[in-house]
Amino acid sequence: MWKLVLALLFALVVAIFAVQNAGLVMVGFLPYRFEVSLALVILGSTAAGALVVFLLGLVQQVTRGMKIREYRHKIQQLERELAALQEEMAEPTPRGEEGVGVEGNSLP
C-alpha cells in the first residue's frame, strides 16, 4: 500500500514539474529532429522509465514463479520418497533377519 502512495506522490511531483516547464524544445533522435513541448518530453521519459521498471519486475516475477513451481515439484517428489521409505520401515522384517549386523554378525 505504501508503494502505491509513494508512486502516486512521485507522479504528482513529475506532473507539476512538467506543467511548470511547458516551453517548446528541439528534440533530436537519430536522424530526426522536431520541436515538442518539454512537458511531453518529461512525461514521456517518465512513462518510458516506468515501463522499463515494470517489465524488469515482470521478468523477475516470472522467474520466481518458475523456481517456486520447480521447488513444489521437488517437495512432492521427496514426500513420495519419504512415504515409501516410511512404509518400508513399517513392514515387519522376515524371521531370521532380526538382529543381524552389517557383516552378518549377530548384534548383542
Residue at 41 is within a domain? yes
Residue at 1 is within a domain? no
| Whether residue 100 has pLDDT greater than 80 | no
CA-CA distance, 8 to 10, in Å (whole number)? 5
**What per-residue confidence (pLDDT) applies to 103?**
55
Residues whose CB falls within 8 Å of the CB of residue 35, separated by 6 or more in sequence, listed in order: 24, 25, 26, 27
Residue at 96 is within a domain? no
Residue at 43 is within a domain? yes
Residue at 8 is within a domain? no
Count of beta carbons in the 10 Å neighbourhood of residue 18 = 19
**What per-residue confidence (pLDDT) applies to 107?**
52
Give the domain range for residue 73: 17-88
**What per-residue confidence (pLDDT) applies to 93?**
67
**How many domains is the chain partitioned into structurally?**
1
Residue at 6 is within a domain? no
- With bands split at pLDDT 50, 70 and 90, how would you rate the model's confidence at 96? low
Average pLDDT across the chain, whole number: 85
